[in-house]
Amino acid sequence: MAEGQRRSGLTTRLPLERIVFDGEVAMRNALMKDSRFRKLSERHDGEETLAARRTLLLSALRLTPEMAPEPFAALAQVRRTLALQGEIELYCVSSRDINAFVARSSSGPVLLGLTSEALERFDATELRFVLGHELGHVLFDHFRLSPAVLAEDDEVAPIHLVRLCAWCRYAELTADRVGLLCADDYDAAVRAFFKLTSGLSGASYLRHAELQAEQYTAVHAEGLESDASDWLSTHPYGPLRVKALDLFARSETYHELLGRRGSSAGFHRLLGRSGSLLSEKELEREVGAIVKLMDPTFLHDESDSAPVVKEFLALAGMKVALADGTVQRGEREALGKLVGKRGVTQAKEQLLALDAEGHEARLAELCHTLALKLSLNRRGRLIEDLVVVALADRELHDAEVAVILDSAERLGVSVDLVERAVARTFATLD
């Protein structure tokens, strides 16, 4: 039994490793490889959901089979498709938005919620897709990592937050696959997406729901690059999700999981021009190309930040030491403790090799990299290190302060932190 299934209380006999999007697994591994991030995620695990059931019981309507036979019939079919074991409660939340959600309670049942508008607008097959999608989050333990919680922690590095949001987008594609397996109807899944993203559910509009998938072609043809608003989004844009689901519907994996070998008319329609289904390798490659449309170029950079930190301290520290015109012995020794004697020598050599413009450009490049890769707390410690260098001669010159403030601004560190660092360092000198 997978760990996520033990934690959620739900079990399935389906081979989850065949359903999950490979990119989700790779991104989660990249996050958990960092020991700092792993400890932070464990510290915050479960913070959002401890009181979920109490909140729903107080503010939403708990549904029963007698009250809502169609949603319960859809849930029963989802259970059969996924061979699910475990307790699930259904809730209706009053809202004019078409939406659904899932939460885990600290102990007990899985909590599935639908807005009143969703219950009114989704047909039986669309309900199976939506309920399957939400239960997919449970089966794959997507609760474990929460951008909403971790974004508030100053110890989380920006690149980890960007990776976390990318992982959330990838996790949505995995959950979509579970939803499609439950609905076994690609057109119904597209209709559900159309209703969720547009809010439209009239028959005259639904006839054109498939056009949402065609928007992906337009996005791809434009060669649109991602920007910062994409990087922190936890859901892929609608056209990208529909295209990714279309690929899954035309894959060997999907049809084999449903025990089909290609006898139905619908099966042949899904083959498209190629006349054959996508292999698992082809599926993952093509979906991987889709998700990268929302990813920044630096997202997959696996280089170690330690050499960058050392070079920054060497160049910025030497700049601080030279700000008053001369490098004092104490400043040289303080800098040597940070980067080693060889690092000090290399910094001097690099300063001699670069003109003023080249030196500033390199520092700007280093700050940009560190602002992405290090948490606010760790960047703050770099500024404290520069303050230690500046005060090694027991004096703090205006020119040294200007250099430190400039570095702080480039690293996204507040002036208040610089002032506190100066006060603390002065106190140790007394």
- Report pLDDT for 17: 95
For the chain, how long is the longest CA-to-CA vector?
85
pLDDT digits (tens, 9 = 90+) for 168-179: 999 999 999 999
Name the phi and psi angles at 90, rounded to 5. -105, 135
Sort residue 223 into left (φ over 0), alpha (ψ -120 to 50) or beta.
left
Question: What is the residue-wise DSSP string for 187-247?
Answer: HHHHHHHHHHHH----HHHHTTTTHHHHHHHHHHHHTPPP-HHHHT-SS--HHHHHHHHHH
Among 54-68, 113-127, 411-425, which is the least confidently predicted range?
A: 411-425
Cβ atoms of 94 and 82 closer than 8 Å:
no
Rounded to the nearest 10 degrees, what angle do helices 186-198 and 211-222 cross at? 70
Task: Return the pLDDT at 296.
Answer: 84
Q: Does residue 328 register a pLDDT over 80?
A: no
For helices 306-322 and 376-390, give the axis angle rounded to 10 degrees: 30
Q: What CATH number was assigned to the domain covering residues 306-429?
A: 1.10.3680
Q: Report pLDDT digits (tens) over 48-87.
A: 555 788 888 899 999 999 999 999 999 999 999 999 999 9
Distances in Å between the Cα of 82 and the Cα atoms of 64, 74, 79, 123, 423 are 21, 12, 5, 20, 61
What is the pLDDT, as a whole number, of residue 220?
Answer: 57
- Asked if residue 152 has pLDDT above 60, the reply is yes
Query: What pLDDT does 208 receive?
Result: 66
Which DSSP string do the residues of 60-107 spell out, in sequence order? SEEP-TTT-HHHHHHHHHHHHHHT-BS-EEEEEE--SS--EEEEE-SS
The full set of domain ranges for the chain reads 3-199+206-300, 306-429
Residue 111 phi, psi (nearest 5):
-110, 115
H/E stretch holding 111 reads strand 110-115
Q: pLDDT tens digit string along 307-320?
A: 888 888 888 887 88
Contact call for residues 14 and 82 (beta carbons, < 8 A): yes
User: What phi, psi does 85 have (nearest 5°)?
Assistant: -125, 130
Mean pLDDT of the region 329-342: 70
Predicted confidence at residue 261, as pLDDT, reads 54
pLDDT at 175: 97
What band does 271 get if pLDDT is binned at 50, 70 and 90? low
